[in-house]
Chain A
């Protein structure tokens, strides 16, 4: 019984330590690279260009611009998603890892959580062809 209490208290103790870290890290560039929605839209853009031009090639300026436009909702919602994750994790501050490194700060990387929240929110986002 006493051992169970020790284990339970140890868990609470370590949760407390984790909560004492009041900074979360969110890497915006990494978030885009990790996003399933981002990657899906890139594929859709490439497919749309291929269909139009008949040639498999990197996105031309027109399709790149259309892709950026299609992704703009996802990007615009990033600050809100960061705030949402910060509130959920009781963080005081959310910063880019580069800023944290520059200032010798440490925090838990929550980029994946932010990406997950955004990808759920924008799961039906589609590439809008130019």
Chain B
């Protein structure tokens, strides 16, 4: 009986020691997986491309507004020195200001459309990230997937850190995010 206990405990001990030396085994044993997605904007190609596209579109809207508004602003400045009758000046100034306001409104609407399209694309990205995280959680038998920013500490080389794997999978699964305007 005592010998059996010795054999059992030895087996248990060495299986534990072996486990500690194999990262994959440790990962499989982890209660929680960790994702540090703070650099996702750099590491996920689809996200990087999305932000570049949003940036280009916002700049284009701003550029279009500025080129349309510039002549109107010049006309406003010129109006002050035009020597016209005050009533005529007020009328022309009101017209110019109305045109400028319309341009601003138009640019603002366009920017909001881009913002909404960006949010939709990001929601799709979040959904895919969540699906991949859940997939990894199931594969590794973990109880939870934690975001690095919710932790007080995590070991940098912990096999429970699945960030690289998530980036790899998201880049394969979602090569592009479409900005639907």
| Residue A34 interfacial (CB < 8 Å) | no
A7-15, A37-45, A60-68, A122-130 - interface stretch? A7-15
A2 surroundings in chain B (CB, below 8 A): 2-3, 6
- Determine if A83 and B153 form an interchain contact, defined as CB atoms under 8 angstroms apart: yes
Contact with B along A92-130 (1 / 0, CB 8 A): 111110010001111100000000000000000000000
* A18→B32 CA distance, assembly (Å): 16
**Contacts A20-B29, A99-B150: A10 and B9 contacting too (C-beta < 8 A)?**
yes
B13-21, B53-61, B74-82, B119-127 - interface stretch? B13-21
**Contacts A2-B2, A93-B146: A16 and B13 contacting too (C-beta < 8 A)?**
yes
Classify chain B: how many residues form its interface, as a range.
20 to 34
A22 surroundings in chain B (CB, below 8 A): 26, 29-31, 158, 160
Residue of A with least CB distance to B9: A9
* A109→B164 CA distance, assembly (Å): 29
* A2→B5 CA distance, assembly (Å): 10
* A2→B19 CA distance, assembly (Å): 26
- Determine if B143 and A104 form an interchain contact, defined as CB atoms under 8 angstroms apart: yes
| Residue B180 interfacial (CB < 8 Å) | no
Number of chain A residues close to chain B: CB under 8 A:
34
| Residue A46 interfacial (CB < 8 Å) | no
Minimum Cβ distance to chain B for residue A13 (Å):
5
A55 surroundings in chain B (CB, below 8 A): none
- Determine if A5 and B6 form an interchain contact, defined as CB atoms under 8 angstroms apart: yes
| Residue B155 interfacial (CB < 8 Å) | yes
| Residue A71 interfacial (CB < 8 Å) | no
Residue of B with least CB distance to A83: B153
Residues of B within 8 A of A (CB): 2-3, 5-6, 9-10, 12-13, 16-17, 19-20, 26, 29-32, 34, 143-144, 146, 150-155, 158, 160
6 nearest interchain CB pairs? A103-B144, A9-B9, A16-B16, A94-B153, A94-B152, A92-B158
